[in-house]
Structures are given as structure tokens and as C-alpha cells.
Structure 1
Amino acid sequence: MSQTWLALCEAVLSQVELSELALGLESSGLPFFWVIRKSITKSTQFPGGFLERIKGRGVVHVGWVPQVRILSHSSIGGFLTHCGWNSAIEGLIFGRVLIFFPVMNDQGLNVRLLSGKKLGVEIPRNEKDGFFTSDSVAESIKLAIVSEEGEELRANAREMKRVFGDKSKNDHYIDACVNHLVKMRKP
């Protein structure tokens, strides 16, 4: 049984990028919940018939959602993320395998670190122009969520739940850090 996965897009995408991402989500064949936080402009359109074709399997939501609450749900099997540090950690808190879709700033560095730890897969892009295809989106999603080759990624992500998702351990680290800073401040 395949699990639903969450795709979150905070970046503003061009019409071509939005279409390729939409078609990749569709052709993955997996159920999904796609959140687009930035409002879609009136001139931006999904590929013809996309919303009708995904009915019953995919949901597209424009606007804010409680990301952590959604990621915590047991039906979520993976997280397509721009890979900002907060989003990546939120996915790992719940042991979700990551599908990396870096767009700007430090996101590429975060991807290098997290893919080196084998916690997800990056959607491949053309090195010359940064373009990605719907096929590369679908293949990356299937690799991360359902393929046998992706089991190591899924297992590593589940293991991270013990690190990032352990509230008492994280509280202990914060307390130790604060105590250390207080001790350093005293003459």
C-alpha cells in the first residue's frame, strides 16, 4: 500500500515549472497533498485537465496549512520540500523521507548535507539551465516513497525520528547549552 505524501512549494514557480511539477505529481501514480503557499496568479494555470485527472488521488491547496500537523499524520510517507532547514527538520522529526526540490539560498547546501546522509533524493535538474522534467519529478518521488531501491532512504529517515523527534533528548540538549552559556558568562 502506498502512502500519501506531502508536497510543499513555498517558492514562486514559473508557468513551465508549475506545469512540470504538476505533471510529475500526477504521473507518479501516488496519492498526494500539494500545498502551494504563494498565491497562484491569475495568469498561472495548471496543465489542462490536471485537477480533474487527479480527483480522488491528489489534492491541491493554495494557502497556509499546519505543516507539522500534516507531517505527523501516519498516512504521510514522504515530503517533497524546497529543503529550507526548518522544513527539512520538521520532516525528519516524523521520520519522513525527503524529496529535495531546492530553489534558492542555502537550500542547495542543505540538500548536499542531507543527501550525503542518505535521507532523501534530489529531483535531478539540467546543470546548464536548472530545468527539471515531469519524468524526473515522478521518478524521484517513486524512488523515495515506494521503490525497493529507496528502502535505505526511508529507513534512514525513520531513524532520524529518534534523533530529531525525541522531545526529552532535545530539551536536555537545550538545557545543557543554556547552562554552558551561563557558566561561560560568569567571571
Structure 2
Amino acid sequence: MVTTDGILINTFLEMESGAVRALEEFGNGKIRLYPVGPITQKGSSSEVDESDKCLKWLDKQPPSSVLYVSFGSGGTLSQNQINELASGLELSGQRFLWVLRAPSESVSAAYLEAANEDPLKFLPSGFLERTKEKGLVVPSWAPQVQVLSHNSVGGFLSHCGWNSTLESVQEGVPIITWPLFAEQRMNAVMLTDGLKVALRPKFNEDGIIEKEEIAKVVKCLMEGEEGKGMRERLRNLKDSAANALKHGSSTQTLSQLANHWENLTKV
């Protein structure tokens, strides 16, 4: 950081003003931070066509009734944890759209090569049949931005990667945090303790989130008063995110940066 006079960061002041100030203080005021976000990728129409099934399924669900479950492009769970998550979703009685990847050998595994096997074969016996009226499981990938922006989606069980975090905030969808590695744990703390727009389930002594805990947290987010409060806070944050790009803090920051560069060329 000491070799530069400025850093562009994909966030916005209304979401992370404290973090921005702390980083500037770390640089003793010599380094300027430029929050220019939230910047997210909308995805191509061809990708959406490939996942037409899940979007059509969402079209048939009531407003704000579906929990979207995804651990990103590299997040995997152990077979034991997949079993507990499946049982917890079933026990909750809530509608869900689950993007499932084949299991890894350990709960804390990071990015792994995609398995050639069908992820659906790792679900508990009879799960798909028992939950077919309320749930949909898709292998490996879904058009996340389109899913989160759908009016039937009312919650997001997420690994808390930064892109997923920004996308959820932009769409006003409250989160159940399930960080797996790297900065995801810090993002989860910010969402739960800082912004108070997320719930975090508890692990047992073996590092597993059990089905009863999953069902409890899912029902709390989708039906409980705590979930309602999070939606209200997220509505305000969603508006702030839109304003930051339209005519607010991020637009002003970009304008200041452009003026700074213009002045440098005059020297």
C-alpha cells in the first residue's frame, strides 16, 4: 500500500464506511481509497437460457417464499454435511432452490476440481421425491443474479463470497451465512454483527451444522420477526447501493478521481 497513492475498491461508503476509514488511517492519510461499487456482473442471456428450468420453477412460487442455497463456484461440503443440510431444509418446511456440487473429503476444503459424477446422487435416499413440491435441486450452477432478483426469492444461504454479498445487498435479500474459507468469514461477521442483515447457524463440536439448527435458522429467516427486521434494513441498504451508483457516494468518488487524474496531467 505504501507504493501507491490510491486504491479502487468494489464497495460503497454506506455499507463499509468504517472499514474505509480504518484503511485510510492505516496509511496515515497518505493513501486515498476510492469506493466505486457495488459493481457486479449481470450474466449473459445464453447463460440464463441454459438455466431456464430453475427460473421457470421460481415463476411458480409465491413472493419471497424461496430460500436460495449456493456456496459459489468453488464451495463444497462433506457428504455428512450435505446430508444434514438436506434434512434441515426438509425439516424446515420452506421452499428452496439448491445449487448442489459433489461433496469434498473435508468440511474445510477449498477450491476443488468439479467431479464428473452427478451431484444429485449424493443426496439422501428419497429426498428429491419427498421435497419435489417445495424444492428444486440443480447441479453445479444457476444464474445467481437472476435468481436473487426474482420476486419469489426471500432468503439466501450463502458462503459469503464478496460477489455474492454485493449481489444479495443489491437485491435486498437477507442471508444465512455459511463461510467456508478466506475472506468469507470476515464478510459473514460484517453481515451479521455489523449490518445486521444476516443470521449465522452454529456448528457442533465436529464442525458440522446439524439439521435441527439449519431448520431453526431457515424458519427464523423466512418466517420470523428477526427475518422481517433484516428485510427492512436491507431495503434501506439496497436503496443506498442504487443511489451510490446513480448520483451518490460512488459517483462522487469517481468524479473526484477523474479530477485528480486530470490535475496530474497538467503538472
Normalization by structure 1: what TM-score?
A: 0.88
Amino-acid identity (%): 33
Measured in 1, the distance between the counterparts of 2:128 and 2:85 equals 13
- Mapped pair 1:182 → 2:261: yes
Structure 1 residues 76 and 160: CA distance shift in structure 2, 3 A: same
Measured in 1, the distance between the counterparts of 2:101 and 2:259 equals 39
Structure 1 residues 72 and 173: CA distance shift in structure 2, 3 A: farther
Paired residue for 1:17, among 70, 76, 81? 81
Deviations 1:137-162, CA, capped at 9 Å, x for gaps: 11111111111233212211222111
Measured in 2, the distance between the counterparts of 1:142 and 1:109 equals 25
User: 2:202 is matched by which residue type in structure 1?
Assistant: P
Measured in 2, the distance between the counterparts of 1:123 and 1:133 equals 9
After superposition, residues 104-115 of structure 1 pair within 5 angstroms as 104-115=181-192
- Mapped pair 1:48 → 2:48: no
Structure 1 residues 99 and 92: CA distance shift in structure 2, 3 A: same
CA contact (8 A) 1:144 1:154 kept: no
User: 1:122 is matched by which residue type in structure 2?
Assistant: R
Match of 1:66 in 2: 143
Match of 2:94 in 1: 30
Match of 2:179 in 1: 102
- Give the 3-state SS of the residue equivalent to 1:25 in structure 2: helix
After superposition, residues 126-165 of structure 1 pair within 5 angstroms as 126=204, 128-165=205-242
User: 2:95 is matched by which residue type in structure 1?
Assistant: P
Match of 2:70 in 1: 8
Q: Which runs of 5+ in 2 are unaligned?
A: 1-61, 103-113
User: 2:169 is matched by which residue type in structure 1?
Assistant: L
Larger radius of gyration: 2
Deviation at 1:47, TM superposition (A): 1.0
Deviation at 1:180, TM superposition (A): 5.2
Q: Answer with 31-40 or 83-92: which moved more.
A: 31-40
Q: Which runs of 5+ in 1 are unaligned?
A: none
- Give the 3-state SS of the residue equivalent to 1:102 in structure 2: coil
- Give the 3-state SS of the residue equivalent to 1:144 in structure 2: helix
- Give the 3-state SS of the residue equivalent to 1:165 in structure 2: helix
CA contact (8 A) 2:179 2:188 kept: yes
Normalization by structure 2: what TM-score?
A: 0.63
Q: How many residues align?
A: 186
Measured in 1, the distance between the counterparts of 2:147 and 2:256 equals 30
